[in-house]
Chains A and B, each alone.
Chain A
């Protein structure tokens, strides 16, 4: 944890934040509150001083004054002090604790506002009061070895950034967001469609192609190492900005041409874990037949791979964090798959919160080695399935939403929908096909005893339309034609999935 936090703090953070928002204000106010407090303390303590504090302390008090000096320096002094005294004097350690605490408090405000220097008496009063509490308990804990101490100091140095983040969030959510009322309709072309965007981007030369290339080659040099590590039972997880598709494809070509490998496009909106398992059982292990549950299938794969098959299988998973694989269940199946001996996973993630998919157990099952393979390549394939905000909505409808809506329909409604699906699939070769006409559909439904009047059918269709399952357009003859805004491949997937369940 502490290490991660450390890395966040690139030098750029602070200035950017400072100029952006007035976040600093509340903090400086707390600072000013603190000053009188410490002043009060000091008066308290001058009374006590003569009575309580004995002479040998003075040496240490001199050090306390350094609280105004820059943080690092202080830190070092404190460390030196620990080394000097920790074993000779029993309460030094608790004293030191205070020392570092005060200094870290001074730090998490800001370094440019000097902290009010507590007087000698102030700090001693604090330390002596704490001492009285901790002395009894602390003996065991206080010297929890250099290790604990250093990790603590690391954490305290990283603290400001963490503080920042939390504060940012609350500042933003405490007030109404202020944005202008401009909308995209002010543009000449509010929305471009997908092809136009793709075509236009195709013509733009990529910037820094030289640097990108050298970055890419750096990653390619790792391939041999990857193979070595894969063999030793680790699985690889690639992360970093930029599409990693190309890299993984190159990897397949140059390294895996002699091995069986399965490539899975996790970003594909209709991929399911079942597909992945089926590919392995059907195509790699040549198994005919069905399984009752994914768990059964897993057991089968495990047994086959570990006892019989003597070939290794490499599973290339583009975007293991794809929308359909994100579920807990999918990930746990994948993690169990990762445990199978002779099956190696090379996966990539892009979503910044992707690691949250895995709990302790899953991470351990996956046994990842993380590789930062930043490529800066555009996510062309990966984002093409996304309903981007600025792109003309082609009405594309994800398979996932289709299945979800289907589950909540009545049996009759399902059958009606399946008629439309079937009709569309049957006529997919016909380029002039514009959809099933309402009359045809009504006829078919009547034949199947699904509806008894065109009113009921209309009611049903309204429901479909509300869920964006179907769309309608007028033919040349003015008759309404109904169609499902999905391509044939997805529809086939959908029917297969439905048959299975």
Chain B
């Protein structure tokens, strides 16, 4: 591993042939390390609650367990095996990690005897027992240091009675040495005399039904001697248990359900902590952001895959984008900027957003930007500073805005903050119609709603690492809240005052025109202090959004931080091999840029590669293809139409070419040999290109 790693920087550098490569590579590595640490922390926090419940369940399940002698067992009624059904959700790829966490927690806090079984190594009853025994007897045992017993684990007949006697020998004769060791600061909390034996089945649905049935029955029979707890990992629903186990067997289980948090929740956290943060400088562009989300929601629900997509985007960004040398912390970026050579500065000038920026400058500045490297560097420094400020303020303000719009009827900006973020990545949200409409709605909020929203805003502004620039915002919001509290007793007063003024100011006589005028004024005045204040608040929020929530691409040099290469990421993360093959066959020009490969639709030109001709001919056939006719057609295409009626004397060479093309098509899976008719093949694909 180390060896390869030492080469790695070189690959990066060799592949790129620029001197920023090393810088970019270093930034990339550190950034990814940061992100993956964050993700790991999230992962371990996520399941804390459910794991705590599970641990206490397995701890208390055999609270009153006593080893009983042979005779006692018969007097007991049939025992129910305490079982935890852990509903894990359908995102199978993430489960490995989750279960290994669970097992290590169990071993740490509850019992040394934990067996994690996966369906892949439990095909038969014998396998399952052997695997379980191996795991339980093989656990590193602090009580016993006899190497002999460890050795012959595999030779012990794998039955539960063996396990029972082993367990009895472990627990009944507490040697003094054991007590000593336990008091000697043992990490695991095995204060219980009889630690339970926890058997975790990671993917219950994958186990053969009869094996699980036998296993459960065996467990329940030995419950008197062994404090067994089962943990069943279920990806679908609890009904899976009943589908696999008949009622006679499931009656032996005492099932308690534990619902793991859905992976969407995990994803929300990952996005808000890793993607939507100013802490990590790398950002996903709108299209890639949406693509990764779509893959998650419509394909696999796997956060693991989402993170891999993110990793790929990160790697590709640093590998492909020469500007990425500046995608790091402010100080570092400035240092890197100064180290840039003229050639790399040229890259900055080429950036689309920068060109737009230059066009907006006065003529003199334009010239300097384009010709004077020093001037350019100072300008870029300023632009970078703007971007850092922008990002720092962006996310707190976004969460404020989300506090306001999240509860609007019909959720115009989605139910999750990520949807709002996704929208705003593409175009500034405040330019949209939806935004206007939502603010119109916000202007009708009731006092209680508004107050609670403001409270949430202040909370969110205070909890994240908010830049000092936004302190004034917090202060202002607090001021608003205070004002609302102040006017709490005011409204009645104003109403009364209004009433008074009403009665007072209406003169006895006036003409129609003035009357209407005064009435209209009155109506306006009637706005209570609350309405006015609410108006102020909403206007303030609106102003805030317009100030801080511009879409990123409006900023010059946003390319430094944003990766939006949709095609690249889709091609590599979510490949489509069949389409590639069919395009290559039906439209070779796509790959081989030679003008003679252009052909009009439907026509088959002899200049195409052999396999393409054969493929196109096969598209014209039905279910079965006659090899002889196919060959004739191929020869016709190659040789052109000769007028003589006699069957053409086939060139052996053509035949050989045909043979190769056909066997390649067979290799690719487009056709297969069939016995239905002599010298025919069956066609296997329909439609396509």
Contacts and interface: CB of A to CB of B under 8 A. Distances in A.
Interface string A341-379: 110000001111111000011011101111110101011
A86 interface: yes
A179 B680 contact: yes
A324 B15 CA distance: 36
Contacts of B299: 1
A200 B653 contact: yes
Nearest to B154: A292
A173 B623 contact: yes
Contacts of A162: 687
A224 B15 contact: yes
Contacts of B577: 239-240, 349, 352, 354-355, 370, 372
B656 A197 contact: yes
Contact of A364 (B298, B300, B592, B667): B300
Nearest to B632: A182
B293 interface: yes
A295 B625 contact: no
Interface stretch (A129-137, A386-394, A399-407): A386-394
B629 interface: yes
B633 to A, nearest CB: 11
B689 A364 contact: no
Nearest to A17: B687
Contacts of B434: 83, 86-87
Contacts of B650: 187-188
A151 interface: yes
B175 to A, nearest CB: 32
Interface residues of A, number: 115
Interface size class for chain B? 35 or more
B583 A310 contact: no
A223 B12 CA distance: 10
Given A15-B601, A178-B622, A204-B653, A231 B300 contact: no
A241 interface: yes
B664 A378 contact: yes
B652 A374 contact: no
A213 to B, nearest CB: 10
B355 to A, nearest CB: 28
Given A177-B622, A197-B659, A182 B628 contact: yes
A282 interface: no
Given A201-B657, A295-B120, A376 B686 contact: no
A87 B438 CA distance: 7
Nearest to A339: B96
A200 B660 CA distance: 11
B423 interface: yes
Given A208-B592, A215-B592, A389 B576 contact: no
A9 to B, nearest CB: 8
Contacts of A242: 584
Interface in B646-689: 647, 649-650, 652-653, 655-660, 662-664, 666-670, 673, 677-681, 685-689
Contacts, number: 314
A86 B687 CA distance: 38
A146 B4 CA distance: 45
A286 interface: no
A374 B591 contact: yes
A19 B302 CA distance: 44
A404 B289 CA distance: 50
Interface stretch (A163-171, A269-277, A454-462): A163-171
Give the dominant DSSP class at B's interface: helix
B411 interface: yes
Interface stretch (B246-254, B456-464, B565-573): B565-573
Interface in A1-35: 1, 3-4, 7-8, 10-13, 15-16, 19-20
A382 interface: yes
B660 A201 contact: yes
A253 interface: no
Interface string B625-648: 111110100000000000000010
A352 B588 CA distance: 17
A172 interface: yes
A427 B575 CA distance: 50
Contact of B628 (A86, A87, A184): A184
Contact of B669 (A166, A332, A351, A365): A351
A113 B304 CA distance: 47
Contact of B657 (A204, A351, A367): A204
Interface in A186-237: 186-189, 192, 196-197, 200-201, 203-204, 207-208, 210-212, 215, 223-225, 227-229, 231-234, 237
B592 A212 contact: yes
B73 interface: no
B432 A378 contact: no
B626 to A, nearest CB: 4
Contacts of B601: 11-12, 15-16
Interface in B160-207: none
Nearest to B2: A310
Given A10-B586, A86-B412, A367-B308, 10 more contacts: A3-B574, A10-B583, A13-B688, A86-B437, A201-B656, A215-B591, A228-B15, A370-B574, A372-B577, A383-B666
8 contacts: A7-B583, A10-B583, A143-B410, A183-B679, A229-B315, A239-B580, A354-B577, A376-B588
Which 5 A-B pairs rank lowest in CB-CB distance, beginning with the nearest?
Answer: A370-B575, A165-B687, A224-B15, A364-B93, A87-B437
Interface of B: 1-5, 7-8, 11-12, 14-16, 32, 92-93, 120-121, 290, 293-294, 298-300, 302, 304-305, 308, 311-312, 315, 319, 409-414, 419, 422-423, 432-434, 437-438, 441, 570-588, 591-594, 597, 601-602, 607, 609, 611, 619-629, 631, 647, 649-650, 652-653, 655-660, 662-664, 666-670, 673, 677-681, 685-689
